Structures are given as C-alpha cells and as structure tokens.
A and B are shown apart, each in its own frame.
Chain A
Amino acid sequence: MAQSRFTIMTLVRRALVALGAAAIVAAVLRLRGSGGVPPRDGGWRELSGPDLR
C-alpha cells in the first residue's frame, strides 16, 4: 500500500515538473518568437502632384 502510494506521488510530481517545464518553454517561445512576412506587390510613392488636388 505504501509502495503504491509512493509510486503515484512520484508520477504526479514528474507530471507537474513536465507541465511546468513545457509552460516555461512555451512562454519563452510565445514572447520571443516572430511570425513570417509574406511577399507583397506594388509599392509606396510620395503623395504629390495630382494626388494633392
């Protein structure tokens, strides 16, 4: 009985440690990661001439 209880507690502890580590890694990736930038067409030009009429 005591042996079984010890095994369950160890399992719970390991699960909590694993979840904690995963949360920390996820938080770091979430805060430091960046998305990609898709390609684009066209471009910007200064507003002048007929655009300012």
Chain B
Amino acid sequence: MRLAVVGLGALGARAARQLASTPGVTEILLAEPDVAKRDAIAEVLGPVATAVDWAVGDDLPGGVADCDAALLAGPSEFHVEQARRLVALRRPFVSTADARPAVQGLLDLDAEAAGFGLPAVVGAAFSPGLSCALARHGAGWFDAVDEVHVAWLGTGGPACAHQHHRNFAGSALEWHDGAWAQRPAGSGRELCWFPDPVGAADCYRGDQCEPLLLQPALEGVSRITARMAGTRRDRLLARLPMLRPPHPEGAVGALRVELRGRRSGGTDTVVLGAIDRPAVAGAAVAAVATVWAAEGRTRRAGVGGVAAQFEVLPFLSELARRGIRAAIFDGSSPAEPSVSSG
C-alpha cells in the first residue's frame, strides 16, 4: 500500500509514524514545505518514507497520483482544492480539516466523489473525528437518539490552536428540530465534566464541525450541539489576532459526547469521553482512516465524516489497539453529569 501524507505538523508527523508501523504499508510519501523537518521525519521513519518536494498551497506533491490514498494534514484552507484535484485523479483521500468552511466545501464534493465510486473521509482527527466515532458508537445503544452534545477541551499543534482561537468568533452551527440554527460563538456556557484527570471545565458554543458531520450519520436526531472549553480571555479576544504565537503543541486534551434518547421503554443518557493529547489521538484517527480508505473499508463511496464512513466499533477497537482509549461515565445520577451554569 502506497500512501501520501501532505503536511507534517504536530498531527501529520505523528500520523506518518502511525502509518509507518501499519502492516501492509510499503511506502509513505512525505510532503512538507519545511524541508529540514520533512527530512528529519523521513530519517526517523526509515526506508518506508520517501520525501517529496511540495510548497504549501493548492497544488499536490508529485507522486500522489500513484498512491492508494492521500492524507491531507496541512492547513485546512487548502484542503478543498487539493481534494478536488484528488477526486479528478480518482484517488481516495482523508482530510483532517477542522474549519467549518473547509469541511463544508469537502462535503460538497460528495456527489462527484460518489460518482467515481471514490471513498473520502473528512474531519478525521480528534475533534472532529474521534468525537464523531464516539457519538455514533453511543447512538447504537439507543432505540432512538434525540440529542447529541459534544464538548472538546485542548488543542494540538499551532494550526489547531489558531482554529480554536477563531472558533470563538463568528457563529456556531447547531441542528435544532430538523433545521440548522446559528448561535453566537462563545455563548451558552455549560460546565462539562471530562474524563479524569481533566475534570470540569466551562464550555461555550464554538464554530465546530461536529453538527455538520454527525447530522447525516445520525438520522432522526433532533438536536446536535458542539461546545469547546475556553476562558473568558479566549472569548474576549477571539475577534483579534492571537497576541502571542501558540505553543508547538498543547497539553492533554479531552472529549465528552453526551447522548440522550430512548431505550428499553424509557429515556436515558449516555456520556462517552476520551482523554489524550489531541495531536496524538487525532493522528491515530487519521492514520486508521487513511489505511481503511485505501483498503476500501468505507461504508459508502463519497465524502463523509468518520461516523458516516466507517463501522465505528472495529474503528474504535483499532484505535484502542493503538493506545487511544475511550471512556464512559458511570454515575449514580447519569442524567446530571453536566451542570448548566448560565
């Protein structure tokens, strides 16, 4: 299996390492504008890695046309055009895009990709990505799911931190009673409990992609929301440029997915979560998605999120085998692990 990784940031570099240790992967093309970084990663990965020239932008690196799948892990704003070129080349692709315009643009390629019988996955990272897999998995325990509420804490590399910063500006998209609704980003404070040792954090509406990706995968759900942890400073300064450059990589992050629905004749709530460094967990999600897309293990041709494209149980099992483990909240009062505070 011949794969390409386009962009070697905090997530892309780790995804390349995950791919290099995956049986059946014979060659990985590494494309990164920072030549010294690219060559250093290629040296660490050994003979399976081949460094190729690529300047960041819409163009694809040479050799991608011969790959079984490409992982787009560079800046999100170029993913739509890169994906368009990959569709024209009839190459499966996986995108780690976490910006809503990019994710929407990629989903808009669905009909074209499906017409070629081409599998493609969008939002294959920590949030979105692992969050979508957990939501889909939890939904399987219900007779009918009414509400899905996702919360995310932490950031991966600098690109992720910039996106986190931008997510508090503008508006957040939510699915409400069969229609899309725009809410002010940074509003709707809710105290969310994440897996230990992260614990509780104030979360606010953010311009996140989960509602877009989960709505097609979870039919009949009346409400899908997404929040992310932030401080007052984050919300206050969201509309300004970042005042200082972000860290090379954030600390431990966490996910929380709350599902409300009906089962066994009554209403119930299930809370799933995960805790890891977002770039590490996101890299594992991206790597598994890339290998499965190359192997044609998607549920359908076309572009979709992790929840729509994969059987999530084997997907989560494979992630667990790679050390990315999910958690479930067992509470004496399971309907109240999250306390709204304003």
Contacts and interface: CB of A to CB of B under 8 A. Distances in A.
B193 interface: yes
B282 to A, nearest CB: 18
Interface stretch (B23-31, B105-113, B322-330): B322-330
Interface string A25-53: 00000110101011011111111100111
A47 B316 contact: yes
Interface-centre pick from A42, A44, A46, A52 (highest chain B CB count, 10 A): A44
Contact of A44 (B195, B200, B236, B313): B195
B199 A35 contact: no
A31 B193 contact: no
A38 B339 contact: yes
Contacts, number: 60
Interface residues of B, number: 30
Contacts of B273: 44
Contacts of A38: 191, 200, 339
B196 interface: yes
B337 A42 contact: yes
B193 A40 contact: yes
Interface in B184-205: 191, 193, 195-196, 199-200, 202
Contacts of B196: 43-44
Given A35-B341, A42-B334, A43-B331, 14 more contacts: A35-B202, A40-B200, A44-B196, A44-B273, A44-B330, A45-B328, A45-B330, A46-B327, A47-B320, A47-B326, A48-B320, A52-B313, A52-B316, A52-B317
Interface of A: 30-31, 33, 35, 37-38, 40-48, 51-53
